């Protein structure tokens, strides 16, 4: 370096060049730093390679997997070098033709050199008599799966596994084994063991709450536990019906258009409070079906106002809108008008509307019976179908013959229990009727056929009509099942029952019919015709 010209502006060292501000060391460092850039892989400032765009360390990658290789002498990463070393020591096994480490004693790989666990030789199954391998108790696998002692064996194993087994465990095992098939009973016992072995409380009420599944159905296991605990008084019934009713009401409220939804939601809340007050006061509260029907009417009205009348506020509704809505379903005018009066009375009290648009409306229409009835030929055809055709389902024959000859409603047949059947007197108890109903030979034969069909099910359900869904519990058949049980005959149960009531009321004293059927006298008078049969008048 030549003569010192000035001091370096970075380190203060001598600078021997006229056109520089830095010494040689700082000048070299600045040139090296200018050639570097952040590496995309490691993020450090390095000189990037032209071919890879990364630093020289990150540019060395494994030829097998592409992972970085730190040492310049290696072409493979550590994992690939280890795998290559293992493969180099392996040979093809002469037995399984797969690569492996051959043993000196056998000349085979380790899998082939290990001794196999010998299987028991097949024997004759004591149930089916076939030569098969046994699964337990001298039975083959197929017969063991159907063996009725499996639930009890699983219950004994569960009782041995628990440190403090409940006293009701044996009774539960016996009940599910009697009501369900072997596989489902074993599944219930397994689910119960899972609940008993966790860290939560093992009280019956706590077990019942934890066994419930989320959603609209709480599950067959929870229903079995509920039937067992409630029958023995160990736990209270669940609120599953209330949950389902709450979900149905919520779906009806959510179907209301957004501008009109808050008022309908407030109306539902007020009616729920009224239902709770009536239940606590001991009066007759509105049923869930009544509340859901009212919300369905309000949903239809809200959709009608938005789509047809183009009104998005309850305060804009007038009597013409209500009258137009009621004309959509003329036969439901009275029922819908009752709901609308209740809603607008609530809305006026809440200052949602200034005037009640339903105040001047009346429920037009006669109060008499306006339904359809069967002709004599149709009645004879149905009677022959239910008494002579063996292909007809026993439930259809029972519901139809009791409605045709005895005027029984679907709810009366649905709630009919075995204890209400008197085999000696050949009578049954139907609903709220004050006296037993004597059965004619045809009706008694149909009832016996239904009872024989019930005996095929291994059930403890007390009702006469037992379905596949109710055979394991004690609840009656669903209303949906009863509403479709007569679909094959082509006539609904209400029409068949109305035919019998119209005939009885017009040929006998309506008060006697009401007393025999347990009906209100006003209800029986609805079926009274408004004309006189000329054939019944005395000849003058």
Domain with 404 in it: what CATH number? 1.10.443.10
CB 463 within 8 A of CB 476: yes
Domain boundary (185, 213, 231) is at 231
Tokens 């020289």, residue located: 56
Q: Is residue 215 part of a domain?
A: yes
Q: Are residues 450 and 488 in the same domain?
A: yes
What distance in Å separates the CA atoms of residue 264 and residue 287, rounded to the nearest whole number?
18
Is the pLDDT at 277 greater than 90? The verdict is yes
- Listed range (30-34, 227-231, 445-449) with the worst mean pLDDT: 30-34
Residue with tokens 């179908």: 385
Residue 339's nearest CA partner among 383, 286, 402, 375 is 286
Q: How far is 447 from 197, CA to CA, in rounded Å?
A: 47
User: Are 518 and 401 within one domain?
Assistant: yes
The pLDDT assigned to 529 comes to 65
Bridge-based pairing of strands 131-132 and 123-124 is antiparallel
Which is higher by pLDDT, 127 or 314? 314
Q: What does the block give as tokens for 517?
A: 């059927």
404 within domain boundaries: yes
Q: Is residue 540 one of the residues assigned to a domain? A: no
**pLDDT in the model for residue 221:** 92
Residues 510, 396, single domain; the answer is: yes
| Token pair 């149960």: residue | 493
Q: Which residue is associated with the tokens 């098939």?
A: 181
Q: Is residue 248 located within the same domain as residue 317?
A: yes
3 state SS for 434-449: CCCEECCHHHHHHHHH
Helices vs strands, H then E, count in the chain: 23, 13
Whose tokens are 């007197």? That residue is 425
Q: What percent of the chain is predicted at pLDDT more than 70?
A: 96
Shared domain for 176 and 214, answered yes or no, is yes
Burial bucket for residue 412 (CB in 10 Å: 0-12, 13-18, 19+): buried
Are both 136 and 210 inside the same structural domain?
A: yes
User: For 215-260, where are the alpha helices, taking DSSP H only?
Assistant: 220-231, 240-254
pLDDT at position 130: 86
Cβ atoms of 439 and 425 within 8 Å: the answer is no
Domain with 461, as residue range(s), is 376-525
The three-state secondary structure class of 38 is strand
Query: Does 449 lie in the same domain as 429?
Result: yes
Clarify whether residues 56 and 161 are in a common domain. no
Nearest to 232 by CA among 169, 315, 184, 276: 169
Q: Are residues 47 and 28 in the same domain?
A: yes
Q: Report yes or no on 537 lying in a domain.
A: no
- Residues 237-268: tens digit of each pLDDT: 888 888 999 999 999 999 999 999 999 999 99
User: Do 224 and 317 sit in the same domain of this protein?
Assistant: no
**What are the tens digits of pLDDT across the range 468-493?**
888 888 889 988 898 899 999 989 99
**Domain match, 207 and 287 both:** no
The answer to whether the beta carbons of residues 401 and 388 sit under 8 Å apart is no
Q: What is the DSSP letter of 35?
A: T
Domain membership flag for residue 107? no
Q: Is 435 exposed, middle or buried (0-12, 13-18, 19+ CB in 10 A)?
A: exposed
Write the pLDDT tens digit of every residue in 160-182.
999 889 999 999 999 999 888 89
> Is 55 inside any structural domain?
yes
Is 145 inside any structural domain? yes
Strand partners of residue 124: 131
Indicate the range of 3-7, 305-309, 343-347 predicted with least confidence.
3-7
Residue 351: CB atoms within 10 A of its CB come to 8
Q: What is the pTM of this model?
A: 0.64
Residue 533 in this model has a pLDDT that exceeds 70: no
Residue 248 covered by a domain: yes
Please, are residues 22 and 5 in contact by the beta-carbon 8 Å criterion?
no
Q: What are phi and psi of 438, to 5 degrees?
A: -70, 140
Whether 23 and 17 have beta carbons less than 8 Å apart is answered as no
Longest Cα–Cα distance of the chain, Å, equals 160
Question: Where do the H-state alpha helices sit in 6-149?
Answer: 24-34, 56-59, 78-89, 110-113, 141-145
Is the per-residue pLDDT at 1 higher than 60? no
Same domain, 222 and 151: yes
Number of domains into which the chain is organized: 4
């Amino acid at each position: 370096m030549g003569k010192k010209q000035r001091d370096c502006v970075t380190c203060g060292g001598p600078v021997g060049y006229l056109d520089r501000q830095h010494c040689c060391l700082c000048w070299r460092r600045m040139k090296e730093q200018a050639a570097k850039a952040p590496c995309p892989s490691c993020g450090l400032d390095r000189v990037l390679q032209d071919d890879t765009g990364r630093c020289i360390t990150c540019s060395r990658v494994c030829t097998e997997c592409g992972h970085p290789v730190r040492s310049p002498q290696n072409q493979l990463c550590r994992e690939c070098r280890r795998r290559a070393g293992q493969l180099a020591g392996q040979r093809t096994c002469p037995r399984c033709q797969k690569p492996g480490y051959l043993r000196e004693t056998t000349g085979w790989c380790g899998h082939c050199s290990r001794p196999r666990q010998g299987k028991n030789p097949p024997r004759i199954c004591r149930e089916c008599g076939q030569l098969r391998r046994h699964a337990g108790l001298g039975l083959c696998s197929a017969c063991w799966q159907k063996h009725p002692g499996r639930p009890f064996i699983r219950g004994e194993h569960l009782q041995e596994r628990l440190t403090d087994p409940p006293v009701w465990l044996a009774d539960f095992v016996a009940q599910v084994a009697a009501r369900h098939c072997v596989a489902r009973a074993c599944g219930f016992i397994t689910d119960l063991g899972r609940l008993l072995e966790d860290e939560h409380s093992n009280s019956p009420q706590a077990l019942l709450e934890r066994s419930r599944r989320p959603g609209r159905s709480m599950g067959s296991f929870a229903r079995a536990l509920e039937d067992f605990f409630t029958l023995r008084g160990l736990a209270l019934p669940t609120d599953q019906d209330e949950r389902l009713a709450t979900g149905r009401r919520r779906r009806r409220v959510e179907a209301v258009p957004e501008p009109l939804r808050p008022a309908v939601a407030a109306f539902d809340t007020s009616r729920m409070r009224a239902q709770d007050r009536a239940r606590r006061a001991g009066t007759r509260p509105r049923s869930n079906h009544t509340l859901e029907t009212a919300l369905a009417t309000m949903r239809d009205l809200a959709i009608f106002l938005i789509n047809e009348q183009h009104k998005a506020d309850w305060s804009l509704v007038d009597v013409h809108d209500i009258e137009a809505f009621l004309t959509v379903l003329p036969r439901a005018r009275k029922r819908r008008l009752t709901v609308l009066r209740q809603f607008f009375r609530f809305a006026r009290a809440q200052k949602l509307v200034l005037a009640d648009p339903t105040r001047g409306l009346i429920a037009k229409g006669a109060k008499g019976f306006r339904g359809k009835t069967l002709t004599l030929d149709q009645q004879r055809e149905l009677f022959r179908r239910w008494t002579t055709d063996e292909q007809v389902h026993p439930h259809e024959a029972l519901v139809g013959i009791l409605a045709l000859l005895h005027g029984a409603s679907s709810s009366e047949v649905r709630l009919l229990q075995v204890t209400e059947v008197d085999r000696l007197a050949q009578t049954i108890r139907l609903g709220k009727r004050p006296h037993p109903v004597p059965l004619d030979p045809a009706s008694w034969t149909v009832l016996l056929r239904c009872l024989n069909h019930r005996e095929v099910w291994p059930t403890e359900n007390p009702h006469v009509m037992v379905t596949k869904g109710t055979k394991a519990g004690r609840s009656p058949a669903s209303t949906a099942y009863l509403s479709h049980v007569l679909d094959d005959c082509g006539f609904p149960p209400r029409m068949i029952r109305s035919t019998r009531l119209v005939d009885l009321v017009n040929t006998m004293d309506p008060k006697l019919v009401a007393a025999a059927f347990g009906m209100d006298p006003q209800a029986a008078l609805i079926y009274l015709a408004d004309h006189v049969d000329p054939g019944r008048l005395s000849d003058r």
